[in-house]
Structure 1
Amino acid sequence: MRNPFAYLHQLEGLTVNDGIYDFLPHWQKESALHKFIRFIADEILMNDTDGPTRVPFGPDHLHPKWILPVDVAMLKYGIIDEPLFLIPDEPDPSETSASEDDPSHFRDPHYVVNACYHYLLDLRWTQVYEDLMSRITDEVFYVMFLNRRALANLNEFLASYVEEVRRDNFDTDEASLSDLFARDGELKRARPPMWARRAVFYRDRGRCTACGADLSGLIDTLSVGNYDHMMPLARGGLNDVTNLQLLCEDCNSKKSDRVVAPSNRYRRWY
């Protein structure tokens, strides 16, 4: 996330063709991190179309069937009871005629790759794939939401696209998105809902993430004034739960609308 284009070469696919518009509405429970995780998980599975990480399946260890990681994942989660797709064998180069059952089998040198690709392409429209994406997204979110540095890097990346959004570029049916902006490239400030404040308060253990001050004894422990946008709205930041951190009043005032790397100090469980 520090240098996304160096490692995730297709990450731009998350925002191109007006993809950034999906991130604009305020306080979506399907947060920016959820969208990012789902995008990456889908890319990883779709890139495996020729079975380089294929997995053996079946009782015969000498001559097993082979399945793709996506089917392994669905089996592990209990989403399916048996593989939906078995990777076909490579065509026998000694064969010169087409198979009666599958005329393309011996004519297409990319038969296996194409078979895996078309299976994955069709699978993405099914409920079992949606269930798999939901399970993966929930698990990874649970881990990554604890890491403020990673969240800040994600929001900084997205902010670079939000800053380029111009309100007069929206179509007529996108007028509601235009109303979200205070001005070009800057979203309006929207009060964080209670569920977002609670999530951030408990993630940060009720302490200012900058100075460590204990905020849990305040009369109003969920005061809006203690919730800081890590990536300021004035710099293209989102009204998103992943863009919030808990700060005391003094630290929040000092930070203002500057971009400051969040603390990477985390409290031990014991």
Structure 2
Amino acid sequence: MRAKKNEWLTHEYFRTYRIANAVDTIMRDPFSYLRHLEGLTVNDGIYDFLPHWQKESALHKFIRYVADEILMNDTDGPTRVPFGSDPIYPDWILPVDAAMLQYGIIDEPLFFIPDEPVPEEVTDSGGDSSESKDPYHVVNACYDYLLNLRWTQVYEDLMSRITDEVFYVMFLNRRALANLNEFLAMHVGEVASDHFGTDEAPLVDLFVRDGELKRVRPPMWARRAVFYRDRGRCTACGTDLSGLIDTLNVGNYDHMMPLARGGLNDVTNLQLLCENCNLKKADKIVAPSNRYRRWY
């Protein structure tokens, strides 16, 4: 059978774990980062998360947002990556160009940092210290470059590659997924039908009542992804649900953050439970198991 076009990922792991750690850290304590997260959820930003069973999942959207923030922060220094064959006097580029080169999206850097940093004396309550800082024109040039780059196809290609890699790493982490969906549920729970404009009328049909999305059966691709991620076992008690050992055990695709509490119909909000564990959990918010089978 011919492989599907998007079945395989080629991983370069450019900052993959740094971004994954940032996502996990933010989700462990989102209230400490609310100011940084405003662009994701305020001004109707939460509406992008509402449609049922998007393959561009809630985690994809969140990774993209965090990765973009990290790349923007690189311009503040700016963070430099050496480029060229001269190890002593290399040209300097931003990490975003280094990433596009590593992923094969571009063949040559699109931007070179114009100047070397210059020393400045920095005085604070702790005394004098010498730090290496960039002139304003250098910082501004780096910022302007990335600001314009974000509108291009090469940047979109880069964000897609980074997002796919980080998602691959993080999808196994049910605790991080539950934390993400609990954060989003706070905003979903505040959505009321009278908030929608005329062009957003289709969103009304997604809800059974204000703040609660309709229950929609997960599509096959979502069930397969969760089944194999959880190794065909109940994540709470470990009961085999593959049907190979016991054909009477029934698997349930449980919303970790219940729909009644603002949960999403999203692949990142699912876990595999046996019928008994699912009935015990009902619509309560229960931290998912952090037990995983060893690979060998």
Give me the TM-score of the superposition, normalised by structure 2. Answer: 0.82
Determine what percentage of the aligned residue pairs are the same residue: 84
| Cross-structure match for 1:125 | 151
**1:164 is matched by which residue type in structure 2?**
E
Give the CA deviation at 1:5: 3.1
Give the CA deviation at 1:261: 0.2
Pairing partner for 1:231 from 246, 257, 265: 257
SS at match of 2:75: coil
Give the CA deviation at 1:7: 5.2
Q: Which is worse superposed, 113-122 or 42-51?
A: 42-51
| Cross-structure match for 1:10 | 36
| Cross-structure match for 1:102 | none
| Cross-structure match for 1:40 | 66
Pairing partner for 1:76 from 95, 102, 109: 102
Pairing partner for 1:141 from 167, 171, 194: 167
Give the CA deviation at 1:244: 0.3
Name stretches of at least 5 consecutive residues in structure 1 with no aligned partner.
93-108
Pairing partner for 2:79 from 35, 53, 70: 53
Would the aligned equivalents of 1:90 and 1:111 in 2 still touch at CA under 8 Å? no
| CA distance in structure 2 between the partners assigned to 1:228 and 1:163 by the alignment | 19
Q: Which is worse superposed, 10-19 or 159-168?
A: 10-19
Would the aligned equivalents of 1:71 and 1:83 in 2 still touch at CA under 8 Å? yes
Would the aligned equivalents of 1:51 and 1:116 in 2 still touch at CA under 8 Å? no
| CA distance in structure 2 between the partners assigned to 1:173 and 1:82 by the alignment | 43
**2:188 is matched by which residue type in structure 1?**
V
| CA distance in structure 2 between the partners assigned to 1:8 and 1:178 by the alignment | 27
| CA distance in structure 1 between the partners assigned to 2:186 and 2:275 by the alignment | 28
CA RMSD across the alignment: 1.9
SS at match of 1:246: strand
SS at match of 1:227: strand
Would the aligned equivalents of 2:78 and 2:142 in 1 still touch at CA under 8 Å? no
Would the aligned equivalents of 2:57 and 2:267 in 1 still touch at CA under 8 Å? yes
Would the aligned equivalents of 1:25 and 1:180 in 2 still touch at CA under 8 Å? yes
2:180 is equivalent to residue 154 of structure 1 = yes
| CA distance in structure 2 between the partners assigned to 1:63 and 1:258 by the alignment | 60
| Cross-structure match for 2:240 | 214
2:139 is equivalent to residue 113 of structure 1 = yes
| CA distance in structure 2 between the partners assigned to 1:77 and 1:67 by the alignment | 15
Would the aligned equivalents of 2:78 and 2:139 in 1 still touch at CA under 8 Å? no
| CA distance in structure 1 between the partners assigned to 2:232 and 2:248 by the alignment | 12
| Cross-structure match for 2:227 | 201
| CA distance in structure 1 between the partners assigned to 2:152 and 2:217 by the alignment | 37
| Cross-structure match for 1:241 | 267
| Cross-structure match for 1:101 | none
Give the CA deviation at 1:8: 7.1
**2:52 is matched by which residue type in structure 1?**
H
| CA distance in structure 2 between the partners assigned to 1:187 and 1:117 by the alignment | 40
Find the structure with the greater CA-based Rg. Answer: 1
C-alpha deviations, 1:172-216, integer Å up to 9, x for none?
Answer: 110110110111111010111111000000000000000000000
Give the CA deviation at 1:53: 1.9
Give the CA deviation at 1:50: 3.3
Give me the TM-score of the superposition, normalised by structure 1. Answer: 0.89
| CA distance in structure 2 between the partners assigned to 1:119 and 1:5 by the alignment | 31
Pairing partner for 1:19 from 45, 58, 62: 45
Give the CA deviation at 1:62: 2.1
| CA distance in structure 2 between the partners assigned to 1:38 and 1:249 by the alignment | 35
| CA distance in structure 1 between the partners assigned to 2:241 and 2:233 by the alignment | 5
Structure number with the higher strand fraction is: 2
Name stretches of at least 5 consecutive residues in structure 2 with no aligned partner.
1-26, 119-134
Give the CA deviation at 1:4: 1.8
